[in-house]
Structure 1
Amino acid sequence: MKLESNLINTEKRTIISENEDTGKRNKTRCFLSSRVKQIKPSGIRRFFDMASRVEGVISLGVGEPDFVTPWSIRDAAIGFLQKGNTSYTEAAGLLELRKEISCYMKSHFQVEYSPDSEIIVTVGGSQALDISLRTILNSGDEVIIIEPSYLAYAPLVTLAGGLPVSLETTRGTNFKLQPEHLKQAINTNTKALILCSPNNPTGSYLNQDELEEISKIIIEHDLLVISDEIYAELTYDEPFCSIASISQMRERTIIISGFSKGFAMTGWRLGFICSPDHFCQTMLKVHHNTMICAPSITQYAAIEALKNGQQYVEEMKTSYRKRRAYVVDSLNEMGLECHLPGGAFYVFPSIRNTGLTSEQFAENLLIQEKVAVVPGNVFGEGGEGHIRCSYASSMEALREAMKRMKQFVGNLQSVK
């Protein structure tokens, strides 16, 4: 068979070939994964791109600390670079780091995991989520996602072959998961629940009593929990409680966490998983074959963060607490109803009384007042009628942003 031509486009490859007996014939194949094609482009990315083209913009959209990684952590990484420690580590991560993570989780959050077999160091929390879902899901398994939610949950479930099931929360309950609603969402195909507390984008936090009620349902229906605890260091009114610390929940919980938010290490891309041995050892198969190991220099930096970084965490928390109070008060004063979030560094005010959709509000605010916020609908249908504002910015920037937003809302009201 002689190949006459080869015609390729982005989705399909068409091969036209000539055969002595059959003449010309066409064959068309799709080279893109059907799962990947289901994934919608990031809604939040569009607004970041828009904001990047506006001169003089104040961004309240980015979900990362405005603090620079503490110098002692950076200095530790530099020192290890100078020593030439640039090789691969164990797939699960440096044992010294896993020991520090184990001690940290026990002393701060009252959950205990073996550094030898129950902790994996990953390339950020996102990779930890990815390998967790790929480890537990079979085709058709359903995963309940509490909305409004972090953008990547549903796509990662889909890519792992599962079916994401949205469970909406409302402003009336400060966006907290209600046990009776969880019961209604469970069926025979339900395998897991993704729990994020403190929550992105709402900042809502589930305390121990609330987690105990949810745990009863999880146990009754024999489900797993993937507990995204990336904001565990950033709770302001109550100590953080991990659902894995609740009776009978450790064996059915996979904890996802990392260093990005609490230690201001977003660009270092380092996360970790804590889970029972049989989960971790299976996840290592996925981790090793896709990533080999997390970057060694970042791991050395994380050791320093856990050993000596707590004072910086407390300093950031103190600053965030002041900013939280200022932003919530300012939004309520201008007529945008906003609950006081229990953690993270986001507020999620309602903009329903303006008569605009979330996207209209965010776009017009950006164009008219040069303030970038994220429309709530990108976090799921339950987020419509709200916007996400990050208060991980300087007080000077927040004051100016609130001033501009107040003017924008006032202009909208004068037009009515």
Structure 2
Amino acid sequence: MSTMPVLGVIEGFYGRPWTAAQRGRLFERMAAWGLNTYLYAPKDDRWHRQEWREAYPAAEAESLRALVEDARQHGVRLVYALAPGLDLDWANGADRRALAQKFVSVQRLGIEHFSLLFDDIPYAPDRAAQAREQVAATHHVLDALWPDGQAGLMLFCPTEYCAERARPGVASSPYLRALGEGLRPSVDILWTGPQVVSPEISVQSILEVNRAVCRPVLLWDNLHASDYSLHRLHLGPYAGRPLDLRAGVAGILSNPNNPLEPNTPGLFSLADYAGAAPDWTPETSLDRALEVWLPEFMAVPAHPVTLEDLRLVAHMLYLPGQLGPQAVRVLTVARQVVDLQTGAEQRASLLEELRAARRRVVRVLRALEAGPNRDLLFDLHPYLVDVVEELNRLMVGATQRGEDDPEAFLYRGSLADHLMTLGREN
């Protein structure tokens, strides 16, 4: 069991927010796995970002109130985030009043923990001055929420929220220095690592930013985020973070895939990592996560799915810029199949291996189609079908057999599909 005071999930992506029912299922899983914090920050909640000055309409306010109660019943701390940075004018008294009033109006719904986000906004010419304004805004909110002293969490997301955005660098950034010196010690600062999406985060890099902001940072971890490309989903383990990293951060919040259901492997693995023994590895953590996930695919006895089948699917949709070992093998075989130097006998053997991989993916797809978890089917369907069709195309092209002419695979219809094929062999 983890001893991290803040460990959980951020709904912080661009795109369609999760529904109340989906969040309820998330809270159930968080409670089962030992995740304690949910940060409500969907970029496309209109009243969170674009219309931050406006109070939530009655129906939406009631939904937030119900969400707080649902989280509380599952032992999950809900943190409400507001993102006013696109057009907040700190010199304008009306904006200062609107900022405080919005937070207080949300507090009246039963919310006890808050966050102020200044990510993904334009940089000011004077970044240190921009930081000082953001510090003043944060303290203004703190005093409006808790005039007798801070009683809940306040999380702050900076405009320089990763190393690649810090100018001229983390250790020498006037912006980060102004934040560290100005923000009250009770305010936690969110950080995504060396990059917006960081495949690896070293202990050294965390210690560097901790020194710059005068406190341990709270990881906003985009490892499993998928909102930056429609062609990806991440089913791999929590990886690229050494166990020693846990001692250097105030906590970890995962901003995961947009579809909710495919987040079981990554979130389970995060919880596994947080409380892990020294012999922990991402690979064994993924296996434990897949064992937990497998029953979702096994609801219909006539369509059995094995752990090995599910492992192949997870390896196909692994981590940013990385395939899992089984998917690497399928890709290697596919390249050999289309290589003109491959002999006929070897190609026949390789094709059978591709057919076996395709059958395993189809087995998972058919189980989902027959099963009751329609959200899981809908979330995974396009990715599974895409792999099945591409494998079929390769096999038809290699054998010149089948009902489909390899020159007639016309389903690559969008510009993005065509752009994906350019420059691959250069």
TM-score by length of 1: 0.30
Structure number with the bigger relative contact order (C-alpha 8 A, sep ≥ 6) is 1
